[in-house]
Amino acid sequence: MESLTIILTFLLSLFLIFKLLPNKKSDPSKPLNLIPGPKRLPVIGNLHLLAGNTPPHHVFRKLSAQYGPLMRIQLGGLPYLIVSTVEVAKEVLRTHDLAFSNRPPGLAAEAFSYNYTGVGFAPYGEPWRVLKKLCTVELLSMKRVRSFRHVRQEETENLVRFITAAAGDGAAVDLSEKVHLLAYDIVTRASVGATTKDRLKVMHITRGLGNFGAGFNAADLYPSVKVLPFLTGIQFKIEKMHREMDGMFQEIIAEARAAEKDDGFEDLLGILLKCQAEGSEMAITDDDIKAVMLDMFLAGSETSAAVIEWAMSEMVKNPVTLKKAQEEVRKVFDKTGRVDEERIHELEYLPLAIKETLRIHPPLPFMMPRLNSSKCTLNGYEIPSNTRLIVHAWALGRDPQYWPDAEQFIPERFQASTIDYKGNDFQYLPFGSGRRLCPGMNFGVANSDLALATLLYHFDWEMPRGLRNQDLDMVEDFAITVRRKNPLILVPTLKRPLNVGK
């Protein structure tokens, strides 16, 4: 009965879309219609190609192999361009970086970024430049990231205590859940100075936002049908979640203003409130602060957790790699009996494994969508202004032209490589590139480095009884970030007890 209701609602929505959409015939002379792409159906365009269980980034990669490095795809009422090769990505992100520095509008993005005031969704312009400068210089500089070292240390040690308590008699643990909680706790403490009572609510809201971004929701794909947000119910869901999030953030801000802190620790909220009180290059409102906080929770926690989760998955599935990383970590940290960031730089192999994880499992398989502000030419085609474009980072990281054995997890491929995270090598864009390069890159990498070193140092890791390492499934769950579809369940054996006194 429930499935029948869903089908009837879908058919009704389609009927209304047919009636409400302007009747425009495809004009083959228009520039976008000259770009290769799969055949489009009336009204839905190519949405039918995304039906089923195959994640969109897999679908688009397969289609791009058929239609070329710059592909036109029609998602409902909107044309998108999908960029899947290094050469065209370079045109977008270097030659036309300024033109493609804007973001397309969206219902969820507008609401949750407080009318596009956060770093991630703000339109390119002076307010965004000031905010980006504030983030890179004040909030997320290397100096500031280092100041959060004790937060990372304490939270990873708390994780070790939990796993140690849960690991008796060969018991398995849900490592996915634990690393996500770890990431949220680190981000929360760095952002607001404490793990607030709303810790689980923050997780709930952040994951809910990720799901909004995953579904290519109909209201965004048919912007000319103004009643669609209400017909689909998406408007009410967004408003409900926004009220919940806004109330939580307002309460946190009020508590921070009322608190008298003298512990010498400066969290991100405190810095923002100080800039607000003292004045800066632009007036900072409470909504601006909330938008930046949401950027931190959304980008800082989900991405770090995904990297840790996939790195552990790949190493467990490849025991030789796991052993090599583990032996190195223990060789370095057995000198003190404790994993700490002072000696992380002595590791050589684990950073290679993290780089390889980011190649094969970039947290954002599609770089955030872009919208060009002026007409330009890509791959020989004229691109009108206000065209939506997606750079397919997941496909670039698996391009066999640049990555031999591209589907294999081989950390050694980075051993003599100069490729880094800064977005100058277009076959490797885990944090984006150009003006929209992620300002939280250093923060995310620091969180992943320490957490992985800690997990490898203290514990041996095995599959649950009856399962082989090579049987570990790697099925993806597509949202804004790509997580494991099924939790990573492993059996830890304590090998190096926690000794914080050394």
Residue 200 has pLDDT above 80, yes or no: no
Residue 20 has pLDDT above 70, yes or no: no
* Residue in the structure block whose two tokens are 């970024």: 113
Question: Greater confidence, 440 or 23?
Answer: 440
pTM exceeds cut of 0.95: no
Which pair of structure tokens corresponds to residue 313?
């998955």
CA distance 367 to 391: 5
81 has which bridge partners? 72, 389
**Residue 492 — φ and ψ, nearest 5°?**
-90, 145
Instruction: Please state the rounded mean pLDDT for residues 52-57.
Output: 90
CA distance 502 to 500: 6
Q: What average pLDDT is seen over the chain?
A: 87
User: Following CA atoms 31, 35, 37, 41 in sequence, which dihedral angle do they give, to the nearest 10 degrees?
Assistant: 10
CA distance 259 to 240: 29
Helix or strand (DSSP H, E) at 489: strand 489-494
| Residues 376 and 408: beta-carbon distance below 8 Å | no
pLDDT band with cut points at 50, 70 and 90 for residue 6: very low
Which pLDDT score is estimated for 227?
Answer: 87
Instruction: Please state the rounded mean pLDDT for residues 144-166.
Output: 92
Residue 17 has pLDDT above 60, yes or no: no
All domains of the chain in start order, with CATH: 2-494 (1.10.630.10)
Residue 9 has pLDDT above 60, yes or no: no
How many CA atoms lie less than 13 Å away from 47 in the CB half-sphere? 15
Which pLDDT score is estimated for 5?
Answer: 38
Strands (E), 142-243: 173-174
- Percent of the chain whose predicted confidence (pLDDT) is above 70: 88
Which pLDDT score is estimated for 3?
Answer: 39
The burial of 142, by beta-carbon neighbours within 10 Å (0-12 exposed, 13-18 middle, 19 or more buried), is given as: exposed
Which pLDDT score is estimated for 8?
Answer: 38
